[in-house]
Each structure stands twice: as C-alpha cells, then as structure tokens.
C-alpha cells in the first residue's frame, strides 16, 4: 500500500503525525515528529524522494531541536534560540531550506527590521546548521546590514559638548560624571552598553586599561584608556566596588545628551545619539592616529574589515595624493 498520513491519536498518546505504508518495496512506519499537517505531508514527499534515490535509512533523522541543543551544549549563543526551537521543533534539518527560514522569520517577527531578522533568526539558524554539519548558503533579508550611519564629531564639536555638560539640568555630581562618561565614550570607542556595564574593578589606571567582559562580538576585550580618560576617572575616584557610571540606558540619559548638544550648538542627524562617539573615535584614529583599516581591526573594536572600512573615506590616501603629479598647463611669464 502507498504511504499514508496517520493523524495524532489520543489512544496512541502522541501529538505527532505518523507515516505508514510501503513505497517501492520499502515498508515505513515512523513518527514524523510534527503536529502540523502541511509539514507532515511535505515530510512524506521528502521520504518518497529519499526512497527513489536510495537514501532511505531506518535510523534517526536529526531534528532542529536536537541540533540546537547540541549547539548550545558546545557553547553556542542561545539568546534567540528558544523562539526558533518552538517554531521548528523536530523538523529535520534537511527540510530547513531558504524558504523555511524566510517563513520562520516572517512568522516570528512580522514587523521587525531586516537587521533584527538577521540577528534573531538567520544568524542563529545558520550557526545551528553549521554546527550539525549542514553547510549551505543562506541569503539574508534585503537591507540586513542596516543603515550605515557614520556621522562623527569634529574636535571643536566634541570639546564644546564636554564643556556644555556643566549647563544641563542635573545635580552637580551628575553633571561631572556625565562629562567623564562622554569623554570615555569618545576616547575609547566603547559602545553605550559596554560603558554602562563597566565596574570599578574592571579598570586599572596604572596600566591604563579596562576589561569589557561582554561585547557585541561575544568576546572579552581589553580597552586602552588614553591619558585624558585616566585623568578624568581619577577625579571621580575608583574606591569601592560597583558600576563606574550609575546611569541607566533610557530617556533620562538621552535627555541629558540632548541638553548638552543644544547648549553646545551641535545638531546630529536623526537616530544618531551616543553612538556618534564610537564613530568619532574611529574617525579620529584614522585622521589623527594614522591607522588604516587593518590597524583598526587590530584594536579589536570591530570583527570584520567591512565594518572598519567605513572610515576609509575620512582620510585622503597616499595614492590619491599622486594627483599632484598630473600635468598642468605652464603659465607664461609676464
């Protein structure tokens, strides 16, 4: 008899569909590990195709939940996997193709941006598949890199903002701490979240370093503290334990930045806030520190050349300066 779909049954105490029957001489009686009828039918078609090409096995077919579990036990990032596991459950990895991933992204985060979908769906699924030995090229959603905003501050603008922190509506101690906070962001390239997580015990003023245990790249990073940052931190005092900056990422912190910007007469583009100091650090390291793209990568602030290369346009290359050698018309003497 041909392969037929067996629905879930309370008597058999299973929420999954099964397949039973004989196809091209091969008898099949197994659970499909899914309670979705459409997917179960698709699995039967896949099984028939496997039988036709002689790839049928009676062993266990690795499902996504099992593969994800192995990935996490091996130390893989688990932040967004719970939602994905609930979606795919025990779907065989062989069936998780581009269409299945695209559908999962649309179902799980219907209003999310392409960058969010890439971070929370495409990247975790790709990591699980690779760990399980399923090497395949996965197309990311259009615009997944996001809008590359690289606005930066001139030294005059940055200095004006630092000075303007004295004019914001806040207690004197808060104003002073906020000034050190902005200087730290500007001269270290730290992200907002990294600076907010800094503990006093993470800082060593003698070696002029700070250790970031949690970064965007999931790798600890040792940050160099220039003399200007060390001098400002000494004024704060590092006695005791606890967070260095007791601010919280939210409206109040952004309001203080807006007040400082207004007082300094500096206008930033939309959606550009504290991250402007990261871009300023990268730009200044190119313009004043003499670093090229690969030098920036060696600072461990970026993980790939594409991210660091966004600052290439802020300096004129030595090759471009050869335009001085181009022929020009000679002026006649009067």
Write the pLDDT tens digit of every residue in 83-139. Answer: 999 999 888 887 888 999 999 999 999 998 888 899 899 999 999 998 888 777 899
pLDDT the model gives residue 58 = 44
In angstroms, the CA 222 to CA 213 distance is 9
To the nearest whole number, what is the mean pLDDT of the chain?
A: 83
Confidence of residue 59 (pLDDT cuts 50, 70, 90): very low
Q: pTM of the prediction?
A: 0.56
The mean pLDDT of 33-47, rounded to a whole number, is: 87
Report residue 68 as tokens. Answer: 């994800």
Confidence of residue 33 (pLDDT cuts 50, 70, 90): confident
CA end-to-end span of the chain: 105
Confidence of residue 148 (pLDDT cuts 50, 70, 90): low
In angstroms, the CA 282 to CA 11 distance is 65
pLDDT the model gives residue 208 = 92
In angstroms, the CA 120 to CA 48 distance is 33
Please answer whether residues 265 and 157 qualify as being in contact, where contact means their C-beta atoms are separated by less than 8 angstroms.
Answer: no
3-state secondary structure 250-315: CHHHHHHHHHHHHHHCCCCCCCCCCHHHHHHHHHHHHHCCCCCHHHHHHCCCCCCHHHHHHHHHHC
- Chain centroid to Cα 85, Å, comes to 20
Determine the topology of domain 155-314 in CATH.
hpI Integrase; Chain A (1.10.443)
The mean pLDDT of 223-240, rounded to a whole number, is: 89
Kindly list the distances between the CA atom of residue 222 and the CA atoms of 42, 105, 163, 216, in Å, as whole numbers in the listed order. Answer: 50, 35, 28, 14
**pLDDT over 70 percentage in the chain:** 81
For residue 51, the 8-state DSSP code is H
pLDDT the model gives residue 259 = 95
Higher pLDDT, 162 or 283: 162
pLDDT the model gives residue 149 = 54
Domain boundaries, given as residue ranges, for the chain:
4-52, 64-131, 155-314
Least confident among 254-263, 290-299, 304-313, 319-328:
304-313
Higher pLDDT, 235 or 323: 235
Q: Indicate whether 317 pLDDT > 80.
A: no
Q: Indicate whether 294 pLDDT > 60.
A: yes
């Amino acid at each position: 008899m041909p392969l037929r779909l067996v629905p879930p049954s309370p008597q058999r105490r299973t929420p999954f569909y099964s397949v039973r029957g004989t196809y091209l001489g091969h008898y099949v009686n197994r659970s499909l590990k899914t309670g979705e009828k459409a997917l179960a039918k698709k699995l039967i078609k896949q099984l028939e195709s496997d039988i036709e090409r002689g790839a049928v096995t009676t062993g266990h077919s690795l499902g996504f939940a099992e593969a994800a579990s192995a990935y996490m036990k091996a130390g893989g990032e688990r932040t967004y996997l719970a939602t994905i596991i609930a979606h795919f459950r025990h779907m065989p990895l062989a069936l998780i193709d581009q269409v299945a991933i695209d559908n999962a992204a649309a179902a799980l985060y219907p209003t999310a941006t392409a960058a969010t979908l890439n971070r929370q769906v495409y990247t975790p699924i790709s990591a699980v598949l690779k760990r399980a030995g399923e090497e395949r090229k996965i197309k990311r959603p259009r615009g997944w890199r996001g809008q590359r905003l690289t606005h930066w501050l001139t030294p005059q603008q940055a200095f004006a903002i630092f000075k303007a922190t004295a004019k914001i509506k806040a207690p004197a101690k808060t104003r002073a701490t906020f000034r050190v906070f902005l200087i730290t962001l500007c001269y270290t390239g730290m992200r907002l979240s990294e600076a907010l997580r800094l503990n006093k015990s993470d800082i060593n003023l003698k070696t002029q370093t700070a250790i970031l245990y949690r970064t965007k790249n999931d790798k600890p990073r040792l940050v160099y503290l220039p003399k200007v940052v060390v001098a400002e931190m000494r004024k704060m005092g590092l006695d005791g334990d606890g967070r260095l900056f007791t601010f919280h990422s939210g409206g109040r912190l952004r309001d203080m930045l807006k007040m400082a910007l207004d007082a300094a007469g500096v206008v930033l583009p939309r959606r550009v806030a504290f991250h402007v100091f990261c871009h300023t650090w990268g730009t200044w390291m190119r313009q004043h520190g003499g670093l090229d793209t690969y030098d920036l990568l060696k600072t461990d602030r970026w993980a790939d050349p594409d991210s660091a290369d966004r600052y290439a346009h802020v300096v004129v290359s030595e090759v471009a300066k050869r335009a001085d050698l181009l022929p020009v018309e000679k002026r006649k003497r009067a």
